[in-house]
Amino acid sequence: MIGVLVSGRGSNLQALIDQKLPIAAVASNVADAGALTRAAQAGIPTAVFALDDHASREERDLAMADWLVQHGAELVVCAGYMQLLTPAFLERCTAINVHPSLLPAFPGPTPIEDALAAGVAETGVTVHFVDEGVDSGPVIFQEPVPIEPGDTPERLRERVHAVEHRLLPEAARLYLAGALRS
């Protein structure tokens, strides 16, 4: 079973649901994240762990890790989760993340816009194990996505998302099958 962390609209969560990954629970740092609605519609338990509701980031992360593990998560999948995970969390749970660039290029919150601004010929998708850094940790999959003339962030993001929706469920599936170890 996987636990999923989300902060946004949740198209990657939807791919995990549609591809029948066994999802034990979905947690978010954002109370009104669209992804939580998708989880609820699929009958998956949800919870919000906002930083403001906790004494510290470590305390929040421990509560979030405990909740996911109690629900049966063997792996945590960051599907558009936009905060760093503390060592307290990572000591308790193995986590993987999807990021819309060919890391280590363009880490951080605006990788699509950054790739377009840099004028590179291609960007792509990385799925990786999570460590304490910003979009860092051992790479599981990378796949390039060519940048086309006249690309806008919206058009490029759509093609990148299509790749993410294939690679992230595949990585989670392999981990659960015992074919991937951190």
Which active-site residues does the annotation give? 99
> From the CB of 65, what's the least distance to ligand GAR, in Å?
19
Residue 60 · residue 49 · CB < 8 Å: yes
> From the CB of 35, what's the least distance to ligand GAR, in Å?
6
Backbone angles phi, psi at 44, to 5 degrees: -95, 135
SS3 102: coil
95 near ligand GAR, rule: CB under 6 A:
no
Task: Please state, in angstroms and rounded to a whole number, the distance separating the CA atoms of residues 41 and 159.
Answer: 26
159 near ligand GAR, rule: CB under 6 A:
no
Selected from 2, 16, 77, 135, the binder of ligand GAR by CB under 6 A is: 135
> From the CB of 55, what's the least distance to ligand GAR, in Å?
26
98 near ligand GAR, rule: CB under 6 A:
yes
Tell whether the torsion through CA atoms of 146, 151, 153 and 157 is positive or negative. Answer: negative
SS3 175: helix
153 near ligand GAR, rule: CB under 6 A:
no
β-pairing verdict for 2-6 and 23-28: parallel
Instruction: State which of positions 21-80 bind ligand GAR (CB under 6 A).
Output: 35, 79-80
Burial of 82 (0-12, 13-18, 19+ CB in 10 A): middle
In the chain, the N- to C-terminal Cα span, in Å, equals 17
Selected from 25, 27, 100, 169, the binder of ligand GAR by CB under 6 A is: 100
By beta-carbon distance, which residue lies closest to ligand GAR?
80
The footprint of ligand GAR (CB under 6 A) covers 8-12, 35, 79-80, 98-100, 135, 164
